[in-house]
Amino acid sequence: MRATQAVLGLMLIGALAGCQRTSMGDFGGRETVAPVQAQPVPAVQSGQLAAPTGDPSQFPAPPVTATADPALPQDGTQVAAASPAAAAALDVKKEAMVGNWRVQAAGSSCDMFLTLTNLGSGSRGGTRGCAGELTAMGSWEVSGKQVVLKDRDGNPIARLYKSAESRFDGSTNSGQSVSLSR
C-alpha cells in the first residue's frame, strides 16, 4: 500500500512539474530582453546569367524553344511529314495509359510500366526486357494526341499514337516501329 502511495505521489509531482510557466515574461522585476531590430535588405536584381565556364559535359543542354504546334516534337527534331498514325490518331487520356503494356519493337516483345508519379516534365515509366532505345525509358507524357516516351534525362526517344482502344503505334527516334497493347 505504501509503495503504491509513493508511486502515485511521484506521478503527481511529475505532472505538476510539467505545468510550470516557461514563457519569457517579466518574473517579478527581472529585465526583459529587447527584440532584435530588422536589418535593411538590398534590392533584388534580375538579369541573364552568363554562360557556364569549365567542362561542358558537366552541364545539361540548354532548353529548345517549343514549336507552336503541340502535336509536333518539342525537342528540336525535324518531322518530314505527318505520319499516317498521327493523322488518324484517337484522343488520349493520360489516366487511361497507367499500368502494364506489352511492347512490340524490332521483332521482339517486352513489358512497359506507366505510372502517374511525376518525374521531371512527365510521369515515371520504365521497361523490362526491351532492347534498343527503349531500354533507356524513364518517363512519359501525353502531348496532344501523342504519347511521348522519354529517356532518364527527359529526352524524347519515341512517339506513339492511339490507333485502337487498347493499342498505340509509333516509332523511336531512329525510325524503329513500336506498338503498345494490352
Report residue 36's pLDDT band, with 50, 70 and 90 as the boundaries: confident
Closest CA to 178 of 165, 164, 161: 161
- Answer whether CATH 2.40.128.10 is correct for domain 94-182: yes
Q: What is the dihedral of CA 117, 122, 124, 125, to 10 degrees?
A: 140
Residue-wise pLDDT for 74-130, tens only, equals: 554 444 344 556 667 888 888 989 999 999 987 889 999 999 998 877 899 999 999
What residues form DSSP beta bridges with 162?
90, 168
pLDDT for 111 equals: 95
4: left (phi over 0), alpha (psi -120 to 50) or beta: alpha
pLDDT for 83 equals: 58
43 vs 94, higher pLDDT: 94
Q: What is the mean pLDDT of residues 29-51?
A: 74
Residue-wise pLDDT for 44-73, tens only, equals: 777 777 776 767 666 666 665 444 444 445
Report yes or no on whether pTM surpasses 0.75. no
The fraction of the chain above a pLDDT of 90, given in percent, is: 34
pLDDT for 23 equals: 57
pLDDT for 84 equals: 58
Task: Return the number of other C-beta atoms located less than 10 Å from residue 83's C-beta.
Answer: 16
Instruction: Give the length of the chain.
Output: 182
pLDDT for 108 equals: 86
- The one-letter amino acid code at 121 reads S
42 vs 67, higher pLDDT: 42
20 has a pLDDT exceeding 70: no
* Cβ pair 150, 140 in contact under 8 A: yes
